[in-house]
Amino acid sequence: MQHDTARSWRHKDLLDISQLSLEDVLLILDTADYFQEINTRPTKKVPTLKGRSVVLFFAEPSTRTKTSFDVAGKRLSADTFSLAKSGSSLQKGESLKDTALTLQAMRPDAIVIRHEQNGAAEFMANRLECSVINAGDGRHAHPTQALLDAYTLREHWGMMAGKTLCILGDIAHSRVARSNVILLNLMGVNVRLCGPRTLMPYGVETWPVTVYDRVEDAVAGVDAVMCLRLQLERQQAGLLPDLREYAARYCLTAGRLALANAHAQVLHPGPINRGLEIAADVADAPESCILDQVAAGVAVRMALLFLHLTRKG
């Protein structure tokens, strides 16, 4: 596998789903299949990236993404080093450029970055020789989340083309939604969006999606529903009249899920606000793939570290 990957993978960085071809995506998912099997073994560690170093530079809070990248690196025997904004010189006023140059001087093999500014990952990648993997930048992109979502759906669906998925909730502030729309369209999935008009992004009418106002219409006949967290920390005042009203109109309940196709999958990138964007019984239902997404996150991020750190050229 290593020889084929070195010959096939051509990207120094992963900044956005839009840089990937369908062939690239399938290579990532197929490679993740291999590592998913390793993750079920009693001994989960392999020496694949022994001697390589990965910096986890998270200037925004994270639990799932940061932990899964850390676990992914360690299971591949890479050395991982965590850097948070609170423990870095960014808090003292250092520029992102100087932080990038400082990290480059330490000669890591890859930097995984999460940052509140759109384009921060690309800014770093343009100044660093090592690989940069975007773990979420502002509202712009979250490519590894979209890849693990696609991996999760492929495990349940088999063939992706022709399926229909509804993304429900705060679309305007969601980098997860943006990356998933690009990736799922690339894989032939029909995408619907549903949420308050105040939480729809500017220019959504040009996106390759169908937009709905009512949840009942949006989920009717779909094969999966992806709920999104209300990102109150990114919102301006006045976008939502009341959280109780939002829950009444847009929370995914068992009754609303019953309008979807039988055994339709339920996804959520987390963290979950039970009773706000998703009912507790739906989050825990047999159709829920939320914990499958967490497991997929480790395998997909193992695949990405492997692909970027063993590529040729």
CA distances from 217 to 192, 195, 209 (A): 10, 12, 14
Closest-CA residue to 225 (of 264, 281, 262)? 264
Structure tokens at 40: 């079920």
CA pair distance 21, 173, nearest whole angstrom: 25
**Which residues are CB-contacts of 98 (< 8 A; sequence separation ≥ 6)?**
89
User: In the sheet where 110-115 sits, what is the strand order?
Assistant: 79-84, 53-58, 110-115, 131-137
**Binding residue per annotation — 265?**
no
Please count the other Cβ atoms lying within 10 Å of the Cβ belonging to residue 273.
Answer: 17
**Binding residue per annotation — 214?**
no
**Binding residue per annotation — 115?**
no
- Report the DSSP pairing between strands 110-115 and 190-194: unpaired
**Binding residue per annotation — 229?**
yes
**Binding residue per annotation — 145?**
yes
**Run of H or E including 56:** strand 53-58
Half-sphere exposure of 298 (CA within 13 A, CB side): 20
**Binding residue per annotation — 92?**
yes
CA pair distance 53, 309, nearest whole angstrom: 10
**Binding residue per annotation — 175?**
yes
Q: Which string of DSSP letters, residue by residue, matches 189-258?
A: -EEEEES-GGGSPTTGGGSSSEEES-HHHHHTT-SEEEE----GGGPPTTS-S-HHHHHHHH-B-HHHHT
State the amino acid at position 163 in one-letter form: K
Please count the other Cβ atoms lying within 10 Å of the Cβ belonging to residue 301.
Answer: 27
Annotated binding residues for L-aspartate = 92, 175, 229
Annotated binding residues for carbamoyl phosphate = 64-65, 114, 142, 145, 270-271
Annotated binding residues = 64-65, 92, 114, 142, 145, 175, 229, 270-271
